[in-house]
Amino acid sequence: MSAKIVKIGLCQGAGEAGAPSRILSGQPTTRLWNDYTDAGGRFFSGVWSSTEGSWAVDYSEEEVCVILEGRVRLTAEDGTAQDFGPGDSFAIPAGFKGTWTTIEPVKKLYVIYEPA
């Protein structure tokens, strides 16, 4: 059996609705369209969206994000902040702790690796 290419970002169907834990402000809701999971269950890719709000984050995974729509701000524990908008791409390393703020409703392409 040969491996097949998987197209990412189709956002078919309603997606999986949710809400972040550890909300700091607003009433953010999220939606996830996971298009790919590897056989080991540690590598994922798809599209994620969020409404406005802010919540604490503590990354155990490695993540690459590409902002498709909207604006976000990531603030590290030391207070340094970076804003990202459409077309911006960035990596969040495992061990990053801080705050994720969705400034404008956002849609991002994500690639996540969860170490063993």
pLDDT digits (tens, 9 = 90+) for 28-76: 999 999 999 999 999 999 999 999 999 999 999 999 999 999 999 999 9
> Which distant-in-sequence residues (6+ apart) come within 8 Å of 108 by Cβ?
47, 48, 49, 65, 66, 67, 68, 72
Q: At 89, which CATH number?
A: 2.60.120.10
CA distance 90 to 9: 17
> Would the pLDDT of 2 be above 90?
no
Band of pLDDT at residue 1, cut at 50, 70 and 90: low
Range of the domain at 47: 22-113
pTM: predicted TM-score of the whole model, two decimal places: 0.94
Is 88 within the bounds of a domain? Answer: yes
Determine what percent of the chain is predicted with pLDDT higher than 70: 99
3-state SS assignment for residue 9 = coil
> Would the pLDDT of 4 be above 70?
yes
CA distance 27 to 13: 23
Is 11 within the bounds of a domain? Answer: no
Tokens coding 63: 């993540």
Give me the mean pLDDT over the 72-98 stretch.
98
* Number of domains the chain contains: 1
DSSP states along 22-86? SEEEE---EEEEEEEE-TTS-EEEEEEEE-SEEEEEE-SSEEEEEEEEEEEEEEETTS-EEEE-T
Tokens coding 67: 């902002």
Is 51 within the bounds of a domain? Answer: yes
Is 10 within the bounds of a domain? Answer: no
